[in-house]
Amino acid sequence: MTSNKKAQKNKIGFVGLGAIGLPIATNLIKAGFQLRVHTRSRQAESSKYLKGSQPCESPAETADRCDVFMLCVSNEIAVENILFGYKGAAESLKKGSIVIDLSTISPYKAQAFAAKLAKKNITYIDAPVTGGTEGAMNGSLTIFLGCDNVFLTKIDSILYTIACKVYPFGEVGKGQEVKAINQILVAGSYAAVAEAIALGQELHLPMDLVVEALSQGAASSWALANRSQAMLKDNYPLGFKLELHHKDLNIALKIAEDSGLVLPITKKVRDLEEELIKEGYNEDDISVLRKSIKKTK
């Protein structure tokens, strides 16, 4: 890791101050980085947590004179607009600068963005995160990187400010491929916990004790430990939006299709999520999958 003194000299442009992006930007400021910030609504730019940062009117202004440009937005359309749209960051990014894209997007798009920026001598890496809002707030995210170990040394002071674990996977797009696998596992584990909770409640079991007991053995999972209470209480405060996970599963299924694979469990969970989104649960945490488990009579 690089020294804190070196870290403080980095000027970072940061776009996307949502549920994940705002706490990430907050942690970077706390660590002494100089931030220029922008978000589409402009409201979060004035957050008390971003005291000392410089609000900017556009991605281009945000990227101006920055060594590193970071973005954390909801989909690849947003990423493309921020980088290459009207007053996009590519207009003002300087040669030799680095773009760190924390968003979850298609690996194909990540590769296309990297190729386009490379013509300007700008390095783009995909760096999707996992850990939810809790991890973003605590600086304990895990990051999957589309770069090699050598390149990681250039940005480790930034990444280890917002994450506990950082894994480089060699080349652009590979971080997104690993994130797709991550979201497949999330889908299966959340759906399994939802079904288990539903059955336990229907059997009138003491569910707090059941969860404690199950957490000691092979059935233990992050979803069981961290989201079972939400399902038991039928209350789903935001950790990670259902609609975003649904988007991620569509990416994963496209990657699988292109690889010649059929993923029946992932497809089933994707379809369950789609129905819940139609019912208006798109802004709730993924644990709202519990509501997809219904009685037949």
User: Which residues form the catalytic set?
Assistant: 179
Kindly give, in sequence order, each residue whose CB lies less than 8 Å from that of residue 124, ignoring residues fewer than 6 positions away.
Answer: 98, 99, 101, 110, 113, 114, 117, 118, 172
Alpha carbon separation from 8 to 28, 60, 235, 263 (Å, rounded): 10, 22, 41, 45
- Tokens representing 246 are 């649904």
In terms of DSSP bridges, do strands 129-130 and 123-126 run parallel, antiparallel, or are they unpaired?
Answer: unpaired
Chain position carrying tokens 């940005």: 155
Looking at the DSSP assignment, which residues form a beta bridge with residue 12? Answer: 35, 68
How far is 173 from 147, CA to CA, in rounded Å? Answer: 9
Looking at the DSSP assignment, which residues form a beta bridge with residue 70? Answer: 14, 100
Provide the 8-state DSSP code for 262: -
In terms of DSSP bridges, do strands 11-15 and 98-101 run parallel, antiparallel, or are they unpaired?
Answer: unpaired
